[in-house]
Structure 1
């Protein structure tokens, strides 16, 4: 349970990541709430914090009918049961089937699942199946065998998913990019020399202080060629995005990772420019509050600096933490976003 000052800040911010860590007791009304309750904030002097609903009830309080603080444990159990069902199913189950199995309505369970995991049940199932496919492709000699081992009903569905998610053919994925053409260029930005590389789908690498040799290590079997004249506009737009990181860039990306990594990256892109989040907040936002170190690792595994803003994540004590391209660049990015006119 956090200290009272931290708890009060969480209540004022209606921070969902603190739900389940304590409840807020309003002594004048006799009601206790989740930290994220949307009801009007009480006065600080009328508030006490309790570890859980049971402790609040012992103090004579009753649960809020608006935020239903005692439902969180049931929600967590329902999500855990749903994940087990999805992971054990040969075919991805429909939302209504999953919701019925845990005793929720489809619309309510969709919201509960998304809050807990950061994705819908269908997206979770797709990511799980894609992870299994990537693992199978690294072991199986025949792509078809890997497709069925991963749980796909046939090659058509797998190729549809892989083209959308992997950005290259399944056999090329298994062979480290063999047969894939990646265009690359070095360009000067306000943060120094930038390396940008892209497949036909989108940007697959944006980094600093790297050159073609670094790309060869990441994509050892891909064909690396300089950016064509037709793709020159993409380089210019990428430079503009780096020089003004607070503006929406709309650039196409070709990135891939585990379901957890991709959930973290999606959460990074939800952080408004000029704001920061801690690694703990990111872990909680994707439904894994205890996976703070894993969230940090996922943050570090980001292949496209700036465009997926891993620089907006700092330590819980307010210090900058690490950054692959140096803390001075991280400071510059945060300063540019906080003061866009400068």
Structure 2
């Protein structure tokens, strides 16, 4: 993934679980990141796309931000916009499998690994989740430990727990 000199338009807003920053490329939504504040969100976006040109543009990224806020606030819904998924083959396979998990359900890292058409470990599923830049639309929050416990989430275990609970109630 070479993002050097690539341009992303972004917008920042607030959802139930905190600050969201959404970045769009010519191919679709390239990032939905959650943070505790706008400064942290922008730092995380810069880290996600080093060497890229990031332009604050509510006109170009506003509809994506609105869709992301709606999804985070009601995570059982579907994300209506195209995603610009950027990862290696293993990551893309995991992210596709995650998107097939119905809202309100979870899978263990190991169980998800067994659904893939490639040899992959539970730890590699976890690594793919950690590399995901598209919160909730690529629902890494639906993956749990083998005993059902909640662990690791790029945007904080407290957010993962809330997302799982919000989906279960819906």
Fold shared per TM-score above 0.5: yes
Greater Cα radius of gyration, structure 1 or 2: 1
Query: Which 4+ runs in 1 deviate beyond 4 A?
Result: none
Q: Distance in 2 between matches of 1:250 and 1:291?
A: 31
Corresponding residue for 2:55?
225
Q: Distance in 1 between matches of 2:144 and 2:119?
A: 16
Report the counterpart of residue 4 of structure 2 in structure 1: 177
Per the TM alignment, residue 221 of structure 1 is displaced from its structure 2 partner at its CA by 2.2
Per-residue CA deviation, residues 109-137 of structure 1 (Å, 9 max, x unaligned), is xxxxxxxxxxxxxxxxxxxxxxxxx6xxx
Tell me whether 1:208 sits opposite 2:34 in the alignment: yes
Structure 2 CA distance for aligned equivalents of residues 282 and 211 of structure 1 = 29
Distance 1:289-1:315 versus aligned 2 partners, 3 A rule: farther
**2:167 pairs with 1:337:** yes
1:290 Cα deviation after fit: 5.5
Distance 1:287 1:262 in 2: 12
- Higher relative CO (Cα under 8 Å, sequence separation at least 6) belongs to 2
- Among 233, 240, 256, the alignment partner of 2:70 is 240
Note if contact 2:78-2:137 (Cα within 8 Å) is conserved in structure 1. Answer: no
Q: Does residue 85 of structure 2 align to residue 255 of structure 1?
A: yes
Structure 1: state its 5+ residue gaps: 1-133, 135-172
Alignment partners' CA distance in 2, 1:177 and 1:339? 42
Q: Could you tell me how far apart the structure 2 residues matched to 1:263 and 1:290 are? A: 10
Instruction: Tell me the residue number matched to 2:18.
Output: 192
Distance in 1 between the 2:86 and 2:103 partners? Answer: 23
Count of residue pairs the alignment pairs up: 166
1:238–1:251 Cα contact (<8 Å) kept: no
| Matches of 2:26 and 2:115, distance apart in 1 | 32
Which residue does the alignment assign to 2:126? 296
Counterpart Cα distance in 2 of 1:336 and 1:316: 21
Deviations 1:16-44 (A, max 9, x none): xxxxxxxxxxxxxxxxxxxxxxxxxxxxx
TM-score of the pair, normalised by structure 2:
0.90
Two-structure CA RMSD over aligned residues (Å): 1.6
Structure 1 287/274 Cα, relative in aligned 2: closer, same or farther at 3 Å? same
- Greater fraction of residues in helix: 1
**In 1, are the aligned partners of 2:19 and 2:41 still within 8 Å (CA)?**
no
| Runs of at least 5 residues in structure 2 that lack an aligned partner in the other structure | none
Q: How does 1:133-148 map to 2 (within 5 A)?
A: none
More strand as a share of residues: 2
Deviation at 1:222, TM superposition (A): 1.7
Residues 307-329 of structure 1: per-residue CA shift (max 9 Å, x gap): 10000000101101211111111
Aligned residue in 2 for 1:150? none
1:274 & 1:211 partners in 2: Cα distance?
Answer: 27
